Structure 1
Amino acid sequence: MLTRPRTPLDLIPRRVRVHAVRRLTGSMLRTTFRDVDGADPAAPSSLAALRAPGPEDHVKVFLPDPATGELHAPTLAPDGGIQRPTAVVSISRECTVRAQRTVDGAAEVDIDWVLHGDDGPASAWASRAAVGDEVVLAGPRESVGVPEGVDRLTVVVDETGLPAAARWVEAVGPDVRVTAIVEIGDEVDEAFVEAELGHADVEILYRTDGPGQLVEAVRSLGGLDDGEFLVALGEAGELVPVRRYLRRELGARPDQLAIRGYWRRGTVNLDPDEPLDPSDPD
């Protein structure tokens, strides 16, 4: 049985500013955050105190009001949860922590964004992000690590799951064989995907070739080895048949799988912790 270590963390809102913006590929962009000017780097609310060691650890990013540009910061509720301010616009999105580091004594956090025009507030904000812009990062509430004893890894993702997939590859290290199936749009560069996934054996699928490609690609892999772990992250509707195949037809053990919908067509701000398939929850 594969066991993933879990570490509870303090849920602390952190006000940060954009330190750098980098276009990664046609529809993906990376923002690097540092503490706001004047922040105490030794305080619990500093970026140096943010812990996100697990490959899928994510934060809730609170964005400015699109109409006014004003950032309404959340606070901690008495029960330890996040309290949004009332009577104002409070927009947030769940984002994977792509990387953390310290540069010249300053803590930095990278977050990658998938851009899709101005249809959503997160994409609209990210596409215009500039040095000095401020947001609030809250979380993670819990860190979930790599399974102990994993000797083979398969990742099945689209662009939204690519940051977590890259962290998975880094976390298991070069001695673990990794197979990656990645579905992308035409505007994403294959070379970027392959560079992000390091030593993984990468198969790239194009979304324009039609639905259902992910489950067929997973079927072609055959069964899971005893010490193999499969991570699937992306559009929930595409991952439902993947999960059904793995659980019902292949008989994969629950401890061998981590399958989460990061978004769902027609749904605004999907909670990745919601059941992927409400008709067949774990």
Structure 2
Amino acid sequence: MADLPVSFIQVTDITRITPHMARVTFDADQLDPGVGQTPDQQVKLCFPRAGQRTPLLPEQEDDATSWYQAFLAIPENERPWMRSFTIRRRRPGSTSLEIDFVLHGDTGPASSWAGAAQPGDQLGMVGPSAIYSRPVPLVTSVDDADWLLLAGDETALPAIGTLIEALPERARAIAYIEVADAAERQEFDTHGDVTVHWLYRDGAPAGRSDVLVDTIRKAEFPPGRPFAWLAGESGAVRALRRHLVDDRGLDKKSIDFSGYWRFKLTQDDAPTAEDMAEAQERLAEAQASGEGGWG
């Protein structure tokens, strides 16, 4: 298996699971056995430019860096938009994948594509990288925490769903999930002991609500050693991480964090100083734990 598998996937079905979340089912031209078999598994989806039926991608290479350099060498007006997504589910014994898309209008290539997607439409898929996956205590074989804290907005909801549904019996988790309103709630099938707190913005725009951070700051945590998994808007993720380290006394090694998006900025915009510092810290933690690869 290459460190960075590259494939094409084709839409077979689209289901609106909430007013602002679409679940798109894809069939892949090829899938390695481990793809979609573990929770919180991310891939890069490549969206075609105007006039393209299929996104223009370089041939797969064993070296991830060389492939990405070839990708960047594609002229900008032909180079696909690339965005990160979580595999929500893989149908057993098949090459069929489900990926959830947050629908927020025509403000970005992914949401715009998902809002108009039809069976037969094609995307490119890059990854997942088999060597870039941090085990989450209580979900995987790692068991060095007493309970799991999950926190994020709707962009983190697909990954949170995979983590909750992967919990074994008696594993305890508490999730705080920020969404627009009660219509965005979802149900999860799990063997774990899970408490989900749904938090509503009540008209506040995504990225400008403090409900997630404020609620966790005021929350009474259960006894024991937590492991925290945080994702969503970068500013909120940073604020939560600071709170957990500075006010709750969590070791930084007990927090997995990822800023999925930035208020008023896209993934095509240059990283801020905070973005660079966050990326360097995540890279340092990955190297210290023996991980690596292209995420």
**TM-score, normalized by the shorter chain, greater than 0.5:** yes
Structure 1 stretch displaced more, 76-85 or 9-18 = 76-85
Figure out how many residues of one structure are paired with residues of the other and give that number: 260
The answer as to whether partners of 2:234 and 2:258 remain within 8 angstroms in 1 is yes
Match of 2:168 in 1: 173
The answer as to whether partners of 2:36 and 2:97 remain within 8 angstroms in 1 is no
Whether 1:135 aligns to 2:123 is yes
User: Among 228, 234, 237, which residue is 2:235 paired with?
Assistant: 237
The answer as to whether partners of 1:26 and 1:187 remain within 8 angstroms in 2 is no
Q: Distance in 2 between matches of 1:270 and 1:213?
A: 28
CA distance change for structure 1 residues 275 and 217 in 2, over 3 Å: closer, same or farther? farther
Question: What SS does structure 1 have at the residue aligned with 2:202?
Answer: helix
AA partner of residue 75 (structure 1): E
Q: Distance in 2 between matches of 1:78 and 1:14?
A: 13
User: Among 79, 89, 106, which residue is 1:118 paired with?
Assistant: 106
Match of 1:196 in 2: 188
User: Among 171, 181, 188, which residue is 1:186 paired with?
Assistant: 181
AA partner of residue 122 (structure 1): A
Q: Distance in 2 between matches of 1:229 and 1:136?
A: 34
Match of 2:287 in 1: none
The answer as to whether partners of 2:11 and 2:118 remain within 8 angstroms in 1 is yes
Q: Distance in 2 between matches of 1:172 and 1:151?
A: 13
Match of 2:3 in 1: 10
Deviation at 1:76, TM superposition (A): 3.2
User: Among 119, 123, 146, which residue is 1:151 paired with?
Assistant: 146
Deviation at 1:54, TM superposition (A): 3.9
Deviation at 1:219, TM superposition (A): 1.9
Whether 1:30 aligns to 2:23 is yes
AA partner of residue 98 (structure 1): R
RMSD: 2.8
Aligned 1:260-279 pairs, distance under 5 A: 260-269=258-267
Q: Distance in 1 between matches of 2:200 and 2:81?
A: 31
Q: Distance in 1 between matches of 2:195 and 2:164?
A: 11
User: Among 104, 107, 119, which residue is 2:95 paired with?
Assistant: 107
Q: Distance in 2 between matches of 1:54 and 1:212?
A: 31
Question: What SS does structure 1 have at the residue aligned with 2:111?
Answer: helix
Question: What SS does structure 1 have at the residue aligned with 2:149?
Answer: strand
The answer as to whether partners of 2:180 and 2:203 remain within 8 angstroms in 1 is no
CA distance change for structure 1 residues 28 and 116 in 2, over 3 Å: closer, same or farther? same
Structure 1 stretch displaced more, 127-136 or 48-57 = 48-57
Give the structure-1-normalised TM-score: 0.81
Match of 2:201 in 1: 207
Structure 1 runs not aligned, ≥5 long: 1-7, 37-45
AA partner of residue 219 (structure 2): L
Q: Distance in 2 between matches of 1:275 and 1:9?
A: 32
Question: What SS does structure 1 have at the residue aligned with 2:4?
Answer: coil
